[in-house]
Amino acid sequence: MITLFSKFTPFSKSFVAALLICTLGSSLSAQKVHSYPRLVVFVMLDELGNDQLTLLQSRFSNEGFNRIKRSGFVFRQATGNSLSGFEGTHFTSLLTGTEPSVHGVIDQTWLDPVTGQVRQAQTQTPGANPSFSVSGQVPVLPDYLRLLWGGKVQVAGISANLPEMVYTLGKRPDFFLQLDKASGDFFNLMSSGGDTLKWLSEFNRTGVSKLFSERQWGPSFDISSYREYNLLSNPQERKAFRSFLYDLVPSKGSKSEFFEPLSASPYGNVLVRDMAATFLMNSTFGEDDVPDFLMLGFSSRPYFRPDGGFLSVEKEDMLIRLDGELGELMKFLDQKYGRNNYLMVVASGSAPSFLAEKTGGQYHHSGALFEPRKASSLLNLYFMALYGQGKWVEGMNAGNLYLNHSLIEEAGLDLVVLQRQAADFLMQVSGVELAATSVEVARLSGPGPLHRIMWENYFPGRSGDVIFTLRAGWSYLNVNSGSPQNGAMGRSTLPLMLSGWKVKPGEYAPKTTYAALVPLLLHAFGLDVPPYSQGFDLDWVGE
């Protein structure tokens, strides 16, 4: 059993005493169930699928993921419903209650169809009053509540390795505490730097990140107990299968920042847990009857062997340890606020890829990889054969193909004709399941579910000339990160679980999307659901 702030640092040992003194008193007065949750905690993960939670259920404790599933409400078939594997797209859908066709964050970047320039979904404005600008077109959940209660609603985010959390925080959060991977310190990105919080400075002075970086990360249990090992039926393969032991610093010659390996390791999640408890002990979050929001970014995508398969030994070990951190975090929240006075939401930004997944001696699933740059090059060669030299294809990413409008206009060609030719060409490329022109998608010309996914991701002025989906079993090589992402494109199920305040234990088995959450929460809070959010009627709240 992992104990709160367990035996890792001098800071943790001294802090647990203060924690107990403060929480013993507050827990006795926090048991009354309030009209609104005093604190809404979003536990956001960079990569986690429902299948992984099911496979590891027997290895988890009763106090982490299993407690949330046992006492909470589980959506068994929730999807991000996005053509992109970008975490920010899924998080935006989750917090706005709308699909990409409404909120506009179709991917991390897109090509402006008019200028051909790359546009960023998120930018930061530095200066005395720094702010984040997200190219979403609708408010997120904290923004909705601030329209009603104003500044009484406090919003904060804490992350060691999930910068995409900015898509969940609204127009201007009060705090965005993020680990600086060069220094190992946490900084409030909403601060100009001159108003550093005393408790935050004290936390950083302990050098806790440095202490963790001096550790090694190895398996928590015997290597033979892990799924990846047990899928090997050949005795020779099992004998050759390595255990793992990593130094949590970059190797020589690596371009990674010094604390980057730490941030994507189990100890990075411990840092987030420690920082969350420290923050709550030194803030006024959850101290009145207006709900405050705390977004916590945890990682299950390891720095080492990040593409080791659906459930590598490293990923399994991270999830088992994270289960312990969640259990301790909930014990802290129980003591400080009362078990029924905070609402916890667990969600993920992406699902793992099955690429090169080993499934035992006689079975082997080797997922195929769709590479956008290669497909773009082939299509450009095809157009050059038809229309002459030139860069006819501007780029391709996240199910969107962009053509060179300026070149097409200069050549006196019909854009619609080239869009149709490009769509027909993509239908012949291995891995592509369906391709349609932007005009066809805008008109929703097809009755099938794939057409609907395209339509729910089509945003005029940002989407490509051709929109396409991949076949099952194919992964998409992300042009921004260079790593494979799940290629199910709109059909990958992602965790969505609620626990705590007024939540009735149960589950919802039919298919739904991440956009269903905000309408449910607004309705539970007694607020109107915006007309552009999808309606969703579900009895999940008790008394």
Q: How far is CA 474 from CA 246, 353, 463, in A?
A: 30, 9, 22
pLDDT > 90? residue 347 = yes
Q: What is the pLDDT of residue 481?
A: 61
Q: Residue 38 and residue 45: Cα distance in Å, rounded?
A: 23
- Confidence band (pLDDT; 50, 70, 90) for 44? very high
Torsion of CA 292, 278, 73, 3, to 10 degrees: -170
pLDDT > 60? residue 29 = no
Q: Name the residue with higher pLDDT: 137 or 487.
A: 137
The string of pLDDT tens digits covering residues 187-211 is 998 875 555 689 999 999 999 999 9
Q: What is the pLDDT of residue 486?
A: 59
User: CB neighbours of 498 closer than 8 A, spacing ≥ 6?
Assistant: 72, 73, 343, 344, 345, 346, 540
The string of pLDDT tens digits covering residues 284-313 is 999 998 999 999 999 999 999 877 778 899
Q: What is the pLDDT of residue 132?
A: 65
Q: What is the pLDDT of residue 344?
A: 97
Q: What is the pLDDT of residue 369?
A: 80
Nearest Cα to Cα of residue 140 among 46, 69, 40? 40
Q: Residue 176 and residue 189: Cα distance in Å, rounded?
A: 5
- For the ranges 171-175, 177-181, 353-357, the maximum mean pLDDT occurs at 177-181
The string of pLDDT tens digits covering residues 401-427 is 999 999 999 999 999 999 999 999 999
Is the torsion defined by CA of 200, 201, 202, 208 positive or negative? Answer: positive
- Tell me the helix, strand and coil percentages in the chain, rounded to 5: 35, 20, 45
Q: What is the pLDDT of residue 354?
A: 62
Which pairing describes strands 474-477 and 368-370: parallel, antiparallel, or unpaired? Answer: parallel
Q: What is the mean pLDDT of residues 150-169?
A: 93
Enclosing H/E stretch for 461: none
Q: What is the mean pLDDT of residues 344-353?
A: 88
Query: Cβ distance 466 to 436 under 8 Å?
Result: yes
Q: What is the pLDDT of residue 538?
A: 77
Nearest Cα to Cα of residue 100 among 398, 311, 314? 398
Q: Residue 347 and residue 80: Cα distance in Å, rounded?
A: 10
The string of pLDDT tens digits covering residues 490-534 is 667 899 999 999 999 999 999 889 999 999 999 888 888 887 776
Q: What is the pLDDT of residue 527?
A: 83
The string of pLDDT tens digits covering residues 251-294 is 888 888 999 999 999 999 999 999 999 999 999 999 998 999 99
Q: Give, as one character, the DSSP assignment of residue 469.
A: E
Residue 468 in tokens: 């396409």
Is the torsion defined by CA of 427, 433, 436, 440 positive or negative? Answer: positive
Q: How far is CA 394 from CA 216, 244, 438, in A?
A: 45, 43, 16
Q: What is the pLDDT of residue 448?
A: 61
Work out the mean pLDDT of the chain and round it to a whole number: 84
